[in-house]
Structure 1
């Protein structure tokens, strides 16, 4: 038997069949897909993320139906679920984003972000992969909430295309909010990032009580109605309500798109710089 020396390889990796240029579009798509899949598997194995993204919104929907459902239905003449189901979809997208943002801090502490930055992968795939994972997470959350809503009497009266459009709204809204949370988290220290996530989560809960899905707009004081009517959650909820029960869609939808795209435009560069900072490259 021949003795192994320090120069003798113990194994040999196979040569790759396809080599993608590091800055090419094919590399961006493939690396983003792998990063998104990694995050989804990580979140799926985390009980906190699962509870915050699916169980908590479903329980909140049931509580609102039991506590306020009959009162709202009697005041408006229509089932309260057509306001609360869209509202909980938006809240689920926001609360799930705050929890998943904690994984950024974990990846930074473990050094994973730094190691990924040294790999021959497309640099934008780290951020784009997170966006793709957030889209899937929000879709799953919205489907769970819709299933609970169907048990409570929620129906899609405007047809299948409107139903598809309804699910696209929380995805768009959630991606914009997730990028905002990521930009805040990556541009602060670990301890400050945790505090900012807690503050954002508290603001999310506060906004849940001041939108048109919680109670009708007329139930708020006159001096507060303009703020409630035009805050981002209300715009998205009104558009989703129109796509399910009926009513105005174009105006609230355009406002939702404007809010979401505006957030993306403002936060994308800070998020990119934040990920570079978190990886220790700047």
Structure 2
């Protein structure tokens, strides 16, 4: 079998395990929906009726992106279990391509992120979120979600292949993800932050990806935010993936 075929099998395995775990399934789907509803109810009332729609246009993309970040801990734990649970040792005795397991896990994570993102978007549309830039822009919206998810899938591989156990992995990813979520332009306008941190907020991967999704849905700049998002994916995601590959190669070396 080719590497692509083997990776597809591993991706299907990861998705099946996800859908067969009711607690993880409920959390993965319920958390972003509850986050969207609570944030919109609280802050939508603060900004007032005149700005509620504008706030939703920015909040919904941010929450959709959060599904990638807050799902990374479970992905990291899953990869850790693969490495230490005997799966890798069994694969070494089989004609499995070295990168198939990693490629399959990344592909499965990205598909999961897109599915949850689409569900969250559907709930946001019930609240009034709309795509106003046409069908092609809506496809681009989904593509940016997948691109952002690719970065967090790589981060999960990096963390899952490193030191730590199942108890220490989730906090090490959830904490930074929460800070990035709060200090983003989707949560609060950049102008509301102190001037000293505004450049950091603008460069935040959550901020640039949110701006890309806002441009593709409600309207606004698209090219620059998409390129900035891609730069984060190639830079941070690429580094994490390379480190994970080296760690995996050392573990599977004869």
TM-score in terms of structure 2 length: 0.93
Q: For the Cα contact (< 8 Å) 1:97–1:174, is it kept in 2?
A: no
User: Hey, which bits of structure 1, 4+ residues long, moved more than 3 A?
Assistant: 72-78, 279-282
The equivalent of 1:17 in structure 2 is none
Q: Counterpart in 2 of 1:130?
A: 105
Deviation at 1:138, TM superposition (A): 1.0
| Cross-structure match for 2:84 | 109
Q: For 2:28 and 2:208, locate their aligned partners in 1 and report how far apart those are by CA, in whole Å.
A: 22
Distance of aligned partners of 1:75 and 1:273 in 2 relative to their CA distance in 1, 3 Å threshold: farther
CA contact (8 A) 1:31 1:125 kept: yes
| 1:47 and 2:22 matched | yes
Unaligned stretches of 5+ residues in structure 1: 1-19, 21-26
Alpha-carbon distance in structure 2 between the residues aligned to 1:73 and 1:117: 60
Answer yes or no: is the 8 Å Cα contact 2:76–2:159 preserved in 1: no
User: In 1, are the aligned partners of 2:14 and 2:105 still within 8 Å (CA)?
Assistant: yes
What is the match of residue 204 of structure 2? Answer: 231
Give the number of aligned pairs. Answer: 254
Report the Cα offset of residue 215 of structure 1: 1.6
Corresponding position of 1:38: 13
Whole-angstrom CA distance in 2 between matches of 1:84 and 1:236: 12
| Structure 1 equivalent of residue 223 of structure 2 | 250
Q: Please give the alpha-carbon distance, in whole angstroms, between the structure 1 residues aligned to 2:39 and 2:61.
A: 13
* Cross-structure match for 1:178: 153
Q: Distance in 2 between matches of 1:31 and 1:177?
A: 22
Of 216, 219, 225 in structure 1, the residue corresponding to residue 192 of structure 2 is: 219
Q: Which structure carries more helix by proportion?
A: 2
Alignment match, 1:159: 134
Give the direction of change, closer, same or farther, for the CA distance of 1:202–1:241 in structure 2 (3 Å limit): same
**Larger CA Rg, structure 1 vs 2:** 1
Aligned equivalents of 2:215 and 2:47: distance in 1?
A: 18
Q: Which runs of 5+ in 2 are unaligned?
A: none
1:61-81 alpha-carbon deviations (Å, 9 max, x no partner): 000111001323558574311
Q: After superposition, what is the alpha-carbon deviation per residue over 1:91-119, rounded to whole angstroms, capped at 9, x for unaligned?
A: 11111122122111222332112212321
Contact 1:52 1:95 in 2 (8 A): no
- TM-score, normalising length: structure 1: 0.84
Structure 2 distance, partners of 1:185, 1:142, is 23
Does the 8 A contact of 1:177 with 1:263 survive in 2? no
* SS class of match (2:197): helix
**RMSD of the TM alignment (CA)?**
1.8
Give the Cα–Cα distance (whole angstroms) in 1 for the partners of residues 101 and 127 of structure 2: 39
